[in-house]
Structures are given as structure tokens and as C-alpha cells.
Structure 1
Amino acid sequence: MQVRFFGGLSVSWGADEGAVPGRGQQALLLRLAVDAGTTVGYRALADDVWPADPPEDPRAALQSLASRLRRALPDGVLTSVPGGYRLDLSRDAVDITRFQDLVVAARRDGDPALARDALALWTGDPWVPHDGFDWLVRDLWQDRGHAERLATQAPTPTPHTTVVPAAIAGLVGRAAELAAIRDRLGTDRLVTVIGPGGAGKTTLAVETVRAAADALIVELAPAAPGEVWAALAGAVGHGIRLNETAATVPLTPRERVLDAVAGRDVVVLLDNCEHVIREAAEVAQALLLGTPGLRILATSREPLGVVGEAFVDLGPLPALDADELFARRVRSARGTPPSPEEHATAERIVQRLDGLPLAIELAAARARTLTLAEIDAGLSDRFALLAHGPRLSPGRHRTLRALIDWSWDTLTDDERVALRASSVFPDGIGSGDSDAIAETFGVDATVFDALVDRSLLVRRDGRFRLLETVREYGLDRLRAEGAEAEFRERAADVLTALATEREGTMRGPGLRAGLAWFDANEENLSSALRTRTTGADRRPGRRLLRALLWAWAVRERVEELRPALAAFADPDAPVDDEPSVVIESMALFSDAFPEPGGTPTYDPAVFAERRATLQEAAQRHPSEISALVGPLLRLAQVVLESAEGGFERAWHVDLTDAEIAAAPPWSRATMHMLRAGAAVNAGDTAVLGVESERALRVFTEVGDPWGTGIASQLWAEWLMLVGRLEEALEVTDRALEVVLGLTSISDLLQQRAQAVGILLRLDRIPEARARSAEMQEIATADGSVRALTQARMAAAQVDLAVGDGAAALRSAERISLEPGFPEQILAWASTLRA
């Protein structure tokens, strides 16, 4: 298969030529073609397919686009993989990527013939589906400029007088960073390449000065404090002739260096400055002030801090380049690159090593004696696995541990505490939480920024994060010191305090911000909860679980709630605080509603006794949640008693007006909503109307989107029952906007199905059919049985409304009702079939 974008979009395979309809599919094809043969993540795809107006659910929209694009291409070309999609083509099969690769090769080898081959592919201006790909167009035109300059040159090597070490292995990737360094050196006199250990700073710096007419390479790694000028003086004779016309002979290393560079346009490379950073900065400043034509290229794990310093940040290798580096080094080690069957393992190894070139090189070298699967498994103790590097490498590059030890040795005591503390936060640390976390560990919050400067922490999207290798190093340090349990306990303490504070803002307008915080700290909180399961005292764990409850309830994370309640509930413990009241009450409520196939743990008599105890405790420890303990447990007791009488479910909420009036506003609205929900199940239209209207009014006043959405659905149901259909549709659509991003896909589709039903009753068939089709797309993207059931039931309703019984039956027969579906859904599905 060949894909062409120069001069227009063209897709062909064999004698066939295909058409890709629609800008969305075309944009997806182009973005995947740019990285042909490698996985492109969902976020990167969404950013480029919809640069200005992303859809509400980008992943679902991508799945829909990919499904349609797959039908336009040969089988197996577009594949779905964990985390994204891949276009299974070689880069030579796509004209723009072949063009870019030829230009890179031409520039690397100084080969005009390759440049002319690249230009031959340019049969017309590059085609793009929209302006969001202007970055690609700019890159292609820039490459064309390079190719045109090379194509007119004779292939003679440029002579260099500088003595620069020859490269033993070819450079993989880093073309953009190399160009950035050269660009900065053209405009700035001091450029520092900053990045973590093992990122390849030295390699790029040496590659840069290779093109300089005069260069001085100074390796500072062996230098101790006070020896930087001496290191420069020792290097002077290697790269630059001494000034033989000087009136006096320079005596000190400083004088010797300044005399040697005087009047010359020279590039000085100061390599590995981090351990002598202050002295290196002073030397750099003296050189710049004393020699106008001199430029300095420095490599360091932190900035020098000199006025006018420009930076090029060197992070991990991009995934494609990292995979290529690993493949090349594996081939060097064992004679063959990773086989197709090993590709997934190879990609996982590279990802686990954070794309750091040195770590990748060390891991690939082990392929001489280990399989890739064994290397992957060995990364669980990566410092033991990667403990043998090339014999002649510098000591700091010979093992993975030594690589980070080099940085560790330069840290202050507080920075070492902060690095180890960061290692017990797998999600990283939010910048807004850094003050509280720093205080918990006895350091100042500015220490996190200091670690960013030292290339040990990365600040991204408002969070401080460790590379996985550095995180493992921090944990390894803690284990060696016997301090891991203490640090994890401190992390659990501060996360409990932060989560409790956030939870208190989430029953109102702060819900979305609160959920964003809980989502961003999901792994941190799970780790803290696991820490709390190890102690004999369950109260700290109950406090943390209590802080998590509301976020989990809104996100419908029931599968996590049941085991957590089982771990921390203790019916024999005193209920002497609000978290204990809430946790014990939730555990009792959960027992009344077992998982599908289960039976209630308590008999009604035991349940009634425990309910009374908890209800009394809730009154002693009032809160918005504990105010609901009584009504919810009384409801559960009714369910238990009805089961004893032979009824599967009998809903009734025992709530007095006085109890509702005494509750806080949010709790009061929830109680009205419980009454409305019970009225729906009882068929009490009058109560449904009164209570749903009251719930909606109070939730709106409180500003709570979750409650507003559910109360709106109940209110719209009453409006439908009394024939006020236009109002019902308006309320339903407004509720959909309010709850977007809060509820599960299944619940969202339930509300959309309600809108479809209203449109059918209004005889607005085309709109109902369109919304039903949207539901099917969303459900297909989600893939859950419940979502697909909602969509197929809505489709059957539409087909029935237009009298197409055959189509309706096909939709109804595709409904798969798994165990645990509510009985009313089972009945409704059977009604549709009938």
C-alpha cells in the first residue's frame, strides 16, 4: 500500500486505488502516516485531528473515525493497540516520511544524490485536511530548503581543523534538538544543554562542535571543585594553538586559557558541569567577558545561572527513536534485531526505561545473554539488571545506579528528602499540594523546583513528576535505609488531609474541580489506601476511605468500594467520629444490596439493631453525608423485609418533613430526590412531581451539577407523564449539558434515551433517529454491555415508532442482559421483543 500527500491525497494498493471520505478520516490518516509503523496515542491524535474544537469524548470520537477509516483501507493496515492506533506501513510507503528520511540521510552524509532523490518526491505542495497541520507543512518546507541547498553542492567533505572525537555509533533521533542547539549558538553566546543523566547531552554537544572551525572540548567530570580552570588549561593544547606572540608567558591556568582564546572565534564545550556548577558558571562568565568572539556550549543537569544563558532541554527520546535505538543495539548485541513477536516486549522495555538513551543501551547490551522477555522481567530490579556497562565508559555511565548516584551526590540534605518523598507519590505531586507535602516531610516547597533545575523532577501539566527510573532509585534508597514504611505513612497522612479538604468542596460548584483533583491523584490515593491496610488501627484508613467515598460514588466505582468497605469496616469498633459513622453505615447498606448472585449478609432483626445504633451515632456526628444515614438504612431495611415476604425489591423511603427541614441544603435536596425516586418505583405521579421539583430547585441553588442532573431526569419524567413534552425535552437536554463528564457512559445514554423517547412522543422522528444513531456510536466506542443495551433499546423504540417491526426485532434480539441488570430493564427488554 502507498500513501501520497504531495500534490494531493492518494491511497493505492496493487492495482486498486481507494478513497478516504470525510475530513475527520483524512486527518486521522495523515496523523497516523506521519508516524507510520508506530503507535500514536489517543491524546496526540485528538490534538491534531481536532486542534481547535475537540469533541466532548475524544476517545469515543476517535474510535468512530478509526472504524470508518478501517473500512476504506486494506485489511490489517489500521490496527488498534493499547493506548492508541497504528498504521502498519513502512515509512517508505508514505511519500512525506520517505522524503523526510532522505533529507535526514542527505544532511548526515552530505550526499547531494540523496537530496535530489528527496526532491523528486515533491510532486506538488503537501496536502493537509486543515490548518491544524501547519506544523507539518512548516517542517516539510524547511526540509525542502535543506535538500535544495545540498542538491547543488559537490559531495566533498568540509575540512575541519578542530580535533573532535569520532562517533563510534551513529546518532539515533535528536534531529530537532541538534538543530535547536545549533540555532541557539547562532544567536546566543552561552547555550546550556540540560537534561537528566543518560539523556545523551554529551553526544549532542560533541556532534554540534564537530562543525566548528575552532573548538575546545573540556571534560569536567573528573574535575574536583577548584579545578575547572586547570581542566581548561589542560585541554588548550588539544584544540587551540597558544598565542606565541604574547609579551609575557602566562603563569596561572586562568591566564593560559584566556591568552589562548584571545582574539579567536572559538566554541568552548564545557561538558558535565553539574558537580562543579558554581565554578563552571564563574569560568564561563570570565571567558565570555574577556573574549568577544567566544561562544560556550555547556552540558549540565541544571542551569549555570549566568546572565544571558540560553537553554535546550533534552528529555527522553521520542518513542519511535527510542524503539529504533533499542533495536539497533539489540542487533549489535546478538546479531538480530527484535523479531515481530518481540516488538511488544521491546516497546515495553523502552517505555519502562523512560526513553533514556543510556538506560536503553545498557538494557540492549544484556540481549547478548538474555531474551527480551527476561530483560523485561528483570526490570523489576533494574539496578541489579543494568549493573554492567561498557568497560571503558566513564564510571558514572557504567551502571544505571551510578548514573543517578552522580546526581544524588550533588544534592543537599533537603533535596535528598524531597526526592525520596516524591518516589512514594506514583502520580507525582500537584503544584498546589506541594506546600502541604513539603511541610509533612520537613522541607521547604522550593526544594521541588530545585530538583526540576537538577533534571531529577519534571514539572508538567501543573505536577512534579519523577522519571520511573529515578522513582525506583528513590524507593531503593528508602528500602536500603529502612525508611520506606515511614515515608509511605507520611504520604498517606498528607493525602488524607488533602483529600478530606477537597471532598468538603464537592457537593456544590466545586464538584468538577474536586473530581479533577481525585482523578489526578488516583494512583497516589490507591497507594495510600494500601498503606492503611497494613496497620492494626483501622481509623486512619477509615478517614482516608471516607474522603474518597463521594468521588467514588460520583464516578460509580462500585467494584472498588465493596472490597474497601470490607477492609476497613469493623462492626465491633466504636462509632465515635463522622468517618466511622459513614463507613460503617455504607458497609451495612452494601450488605443489604449484594452483588448479583449474592444474598444479604444480615437478617432483618440484626440489621434493625445495627441500623438504630448507626442512626443515633449519625445524629451525634452531623455532616451532609451522615444526615443521609437514617433514610438510606431505613430504605435498605424495607428492602430486606420485602425480600423476606417474597418480593425481590420493594422501595419505600421513610422520611419525615421535620427530618428533611433539619438537614443541610445539599442533604435536604438529596432527601427530596430519594422521595422522588421512591415515587417513580411506586407509580405515585403526584409525589414524583412535588419532590423532583423541590430537589431540582435546591440542587440548583446549591450549584451541584451531579444532583441537578439526576433531579432533572426525575423532573423530566414527571413532565412526560403529565404531557408537558416540550418542557421535558428542554429539561433533559439541559441536564445532559450539566452532567457531561461526570457520569458513566451508561448513565449518560440513559438520559439520552429519555430524550429519544420524548422526541418520539412529539412525532419528531428524524431527530429521534439521529440521536439514536449518536447513542449507538457512543455505546460502540464504550463497548460495555450496559451501554450497548441502552443504545439498542433506543434503536428498537425508534423502529417501532415508524412501524418497522423487523428492524425493531433485530435490535431487540441483540440486547444481551448480563446478570445483575435491574428487573425493570429485563421487563422492558422483553416488552420490546413482544
Structure 2
Amino acid sequence: MRYSVLGPTLAHSPDGTDVAVGGPRVRALLTVLALRAGRTVLVPDLVDEVWHGDEPPADAVAALQALVGRLRKSLGRDRVISADGGYRLDARPEDVDTRRFERLAAEGVAALGAGDPARAADLLDEALGLWRGPALADLPDREAEAARWEARRLDARRARLDAALGLGEASEALLEVTALCAARPLDEPLQALRIRALRDTGRAAEALAAYEAVRRALATRLGTDPSPALRALHAELLAGPGPGTAGPGHTPGPATTPTARPDRPGKYDGQEKRERPRKPEKHEKHEKSEAAEKPAGTERTASAVRGNLRARLTSFVGRDEEIAVLQEDLAAARLVTLLGPGGAGKTRLSQEAAERGAEAWPGGVWVAELAPVTDPAAVPEAVLAAVGARETVLRGAGAEELRAGDDPLARLVEHCAGRRMLLLLDNCEHVVAAAAELAETLLARCPDLRVLATSREPLGVPGEVVRPLGPLAAGTALRLLGERGAAARPGFVVGEDPGAAEEICRRLDGLPLAIELAAARLRMLTSRQIADRLDDRFR
């Protein structure tokens, strides 16, 4: 049996089929045991790992034994062995994808250093193919350990790009390395790979412009010069092409060594995690000035909820239990989708839940309204505008080169990385594929980000928690009708004709929007008249 933790935790039977493991705690237990395959993990250590960040149950040992029993039921009793005050997974280290990834990546880098890019590409393809999502996705609150695995993955991706250049595949590698560089503008080995790819595709002028952009970024943000390897590559560019400059036989440039290891074009870009940002950048300062210019009322309370939540014009009725459940979901999962039909109140509920728990998000609560977006390709730009990371307009000499390859998604990743913030993607259903791709990319690259989406269908992103939203309870629906009715017609109370009020709420299926629309009719009609006319769809 084999085990995967580079993504959601899975067990695979000898014939290759996936084995259903169980709930989150059981998967966390399997993750801990798989990372130490063949070694005994003591009970206190298992309790600490499985309930990390949460208060363990009163009888933690008994609770752990119950989890072990459920895991044995899934895998087979002989797969989890009791030994020496703990438990051991009966597996070899090679049975776990992390160990296979390390071996294959190391062999690929060694082959690259030995001048065999073809073998390096094959090994690195196999290594990167083991990844199915963010590392240790089912182990709670393990951002630091997961980040170490993501850094190893980035090393392998660098090495794969280097192998692609060595094989003369610069055109295929250019798109991928450009996207990576947009997310990591100060990663000199990656920038060197991009410059080499531009040179090898005959775009020497763009390669020189790319070097100049890197040099300025390093000087502006860090007050330093490019590394000797990057300067040597620049000197190569100025010297002009020599024999064999491009093509499969081209020797890797001096900026790339076995420790500067590229990656795989295209296939894995959407799941890769960004490094933590450094000093505040220009767009961060601009964001502060924008916050100072916000009109009064954009922030909800005296405690200053940071973000772009709008002030409410009407009261929020009921749904306290749903709000509590949503907040629990957001504490445990990184993507929560509130599912329901149109008019169910998903938008209002998501914003109320976010506002009441706003203290958990020092980076702010930001709402991206996707309902007006008609082109799926415009989703990243819409979210970028919603979070306030507006683009600085560049003019003058060299502006076109600096704007070339500008990617809204890459800028959004750079803006969100390092911020503990909550992003609300509202009304995703008509652009669900684009919203899912954006959410998956952001969550993979921004470890402190949480996403709360509202939609009529799930996004289908790994790790997504789907929370269906049902109709209002009868009492809550009546209360909503009463409050909105009194606003439309002062003095209205549902008690004046309780039978009609109950009929309205029942026949409108407890949908908040439908009840509010009915309440607005109370300016001209009685509740009985509204109830009687519900079947007359033309009126």
C-alpha cells in the first residue's frame, strides 16, 4: 500500500485504487504516521500533532485509540501497529510520496549537474507529478512545515526549467518561467532563467530589458546590486550571440547552478506556494494612502473592520446558528463555499459572518462581487480591484517593457501573500471555473489567506468545505416579513393577519429575497391580498 501527503492525504491499495480514509482527524493521524513511515510515534506526540492548535478532548488517549480503530478499519488492522507506547504505520519510507519526491528530485538535479538534461527532465517530471495540491493539506496548522515542502517543490521546478532550456525548449519554458518571475520578482535564479529563455528564443532586446527591470527592483527594494552570476549573464547578452548560443546543445548560463533549480512549465503552476514577502513595497504604501481617502461609512464600526465591507442599510434577521457554523468552518478550512439557490441570502450571510469574526483577519475582509463580471478572463482583475491593489500607471521610456507580461493573477498573489486576510468571492456560479482556478492558485501561494465563496454550485477545489444554505425557519421568516413590512408600511405587524403572513412565508419557501419583495408590496396591498395573488404570476 502507498500513501500520498503532497496534497490531500490518500492511501492507495496495491492495485492503484484509492482507499477511503475517513474524516479530518483520521486523515491527520494518517499524515503524521506516513511522514514517519516504519517508525513508532508516541501517543503524546500523536495527540499533539492531530489536535495541534485545538484543545484535545478530556480523554485524549481514548479519543486517539478511537481514531486508530477507524484508520485500521479503512487500511486493515495489520497496517497500523501498536508498539512501545505508540503506533507505527507498517510501510517503508519509499511507500510515501514525500520520500519518492525527494529521491527523484535529487537524482534529477544530479543528472542536470552531470550534463544530462534529458534524464533530468524525466526524473523531475516524475517527481513533480506526485504533487496533487498543497503539501500536508490534511495536517492542521502546519504552515511552516508545509512551506518547507513547497520550497523543495520550487527547487525541483527550477531544475525542470533549467533542463528544458538545456534541451532547447526555451519557447515552451518561457511562459512558465515568466509567470513564476511575476510572483517572485526578487528571485534571481528564476529571473536568470527567464533572461536565458528570452535570449535563446532570439529576443535579446527583451532579455536586456528584463535584466534592467530586475536590477532596478533589487536597487529600489533592497538597496543592492544583482549577483555576480546575473551580472555575468548580462555581460553575455551585451557581448552578443556566439556559436551555439541557442538550441539543445547550449550550455546553461552562469546564473544557473545545481542549487538554482527550475521547474515544470504549465502543469503545476496553479498549485505553487509563494515565498513570504520582504519589506513593504510601493503598492502597500499606496494601499495605506487609499485607506486614508476612503469616505466615511466604508468601515463598519468604531473597531474599524479593515477591508471593503459596506455599511448595512437594513437589519440582519436570524441565522445565528449558520453564522457560528461558518466561522467554525473558516477556522478549520481554507476554502468554504456557501451553497444555495438565488435569493437564499448567501451574500448577506457571508458578509455578516465575516464581519462578526473580523478580528481574526488583521489583513482585512475583502469582498469581490463577481455578479457584474461577464468574461471569465476578467475575474482576476475584478478581484484585484476589489482588494485595492490597483495598478500603478507607468509612462515614459521603457514603460512598455515593464508592463509586458503583467499578469493580474500574479499581482494578486503578490498582494495577498503574507497577509492574514479573508477574501469573499460573491456570486461565483456564472464564472465558476475561473473562480475555482483563482481560488486554488491564491490558496496554494498565500498560506495565510482564507476564501469564503458564495455560489449555486461548488467550486470543486481540493480541500473545499461546502456549506448548503437552507430556507429561513418559519419564525425567522415571519420576523423578517414583519421588520421589512413595517419599513414599507409603518404600523404593519404580522399579527394583524397571522394566517396570511404564514402563508406568504410558506409559499415563498422561506427565501429571504422573495419575502423582502413581498414585504415591499405592503405599501399598496394587505398581507391577505398578497397571499391571494401569489399564484397570479403575470401580476
Give me the TM-score of the superposition, normalised by structure 2.
Answer: 0.40
Give me the TM-score of the superposition, normalised by structure 1.
Answer: 0.26
Task: Answer with 1 or 2: which has the greater Rg.
Answer: 1
Structure (1/2) with the larger helix percentage = 1
Higher RCO, Cα 8 Å, sep 6+: 2
